[in-house]
Amino acid sequence: MITIDNLHKSFGKLQVLSGVSLDFGRPGIYAILGPNGSGKTTLIKSILGMSIPDKGQIRFQGEDIRGRWDYRRQIDYLPQIARFPDNLRVSELLDMIQDIRGEKPQALGRLIEMFGLQPFLDKRLGNLSGGTRQKVNLVQAFMYDSPVLILDEPTSGLDPVALIRLKALLLEEKAKGKLLLATTHIMNFVEEMADEVVFLLEGRIHFRGSVDSLKREYRENNLERAIARILQGEQGFSANGHSQEAARMARSYEL
């Protein structure tokens, strides 16, 4: 469905992606992992055409996305930080999205109920708690039935009940044969949900495979520890800023 070939992206002197090649050919849930600043959001934005690569190619269902926008209709997207106007009420935002899209949503009432948002529909976005705002963000991402869903930190700020609902929703969408890409730093979520993980570090893909194969490869039963092994391995190879970040991450895993 999505093929990424030799993607490069830098911001000024900062090389963020340096030769990322990935193929999301089969439906399922893919977790895109990597430390803060490793380029996960940049990769996602590149797929959406919101970040223009310096080099490389992205194909959506076989066709180069460069200069195109129509394919985006087939992707539902949850941004990491949704910047909607604070003075907008929740119901106004949801109406606005329907106006822009020009289509009736599939399951809006059910989603509002699932995330307990009924009491907040008349409230302004700026007055909502972070978790409630994330629930609104999730509702807008799930309200259409596109074949691809890209979720940048969907678990962010959610309480346990909302997290359970989100996981159920993801499994429902997966059962429909969709392709789901999600970034997260919550390893329990990855263990439970991901068919495959992609680990991004130093601008490159350092691992791609199932959670079990990652644990096997790094000889760890615990996913967090296996990931810390990837980061520790990187520590020895170079001494630039990213590696210092990797070393810091490894220390934060207390290894």
Ligand X SMILES: Nc1ncnc2c1ncn2[C@@H]1O[C@H](COP(=O)(O)OP(=O)(O)OP(=O)(O)O)[C@@H](O)[C@H]1O
- Give residues in contact with ligand X (CB under 6 A): 11, 14, 16, 34, 36-42, 80
Residue 39 contacts which entry, Mg ion, ligand X, none (Cβ below 5-8 A, type-dependent): ligand X
Nearer to ligand X, 9 or 165 (CB): 9
Nearer to ligand X, 16 or 48 (CB): 16
Find the helix or strand (DSSP H, E) in which 130 lies: helix 130-142
In whole angstroms, the minimum distance from the beta carbon of 81 to ligand X comes to 9
CB 47 within 8 A of CB 2: yes
Nearer to ligand X, 178 or 242 (CB): 242
In whole angstroms, the minimum distance from the beta carbon of 68 to Mg ion comes to 24
Nearer to Mg ion, 40 or 229 (CB): 40
Provide the binding-site residues for Mg ion, judged by CB under 5 A. Answer: 40-41, 80
Vertex 183 angle, CA 9 and 158, to 5°:
140
Amino acid residing at 175 = A
Tokens 């997207």 locate to: 77
Distance CA 61, CA 71 (A): 9
Amino acid residing at 78 = L
Distance CA 19, CA 37 (A): 16
Residue 37 contacts which entry, Mg ion, ligand X, none (Cβ below 5-8 A, type-dependent): ligand X
The 3-class SS string of 41-70 reads HHHHHHHCCCCCCCEEEEEECCEECCCCCH
Residue 3 contacts which entry, ligand X, Mg ion, none (Cβ below 5-8 A, type-dependent): none
Residue 34 contacts which entry, ligand X, Mg ion, none (Cβ below 5-8 A, type-dependent): ligand X
Nearer to ligand X, 25 or 37 (CB): 37
In whole angstroms, the minimum distance from the beta carbon of 209 to ligand X comes to 20
Amino acid residing at 14 = L
Nearer to Mg ion, 90 or 153 (CB): 153
The 3-class SS string of 75-125 reads EEEECCCCCCCCCCEHHHHHHHHHHHHCCCCCCHHHHHHHCCCHHHCCCEH
In whole angstroms, the minimum distance from the beta carbon of 145 to ligand X comes to 27
Residue 36 contacts which entry, Mg ion, ligand X, none (Cβ below 5-8 A, type-dependent): ligand X
Q: Which residues are 17's β-sheet partners?
A: 9
Residue 184 contacts which entry, ligand X, Mg ion, none (Cβ below 5-8 A, type-dependent): none
In whole angstroms, the minimum distance from the beta carbon of 110 to ligand X comes to 29
In whole angstroms, the minimum distance from the beta carbon of 200 to Mg ion comes to 10
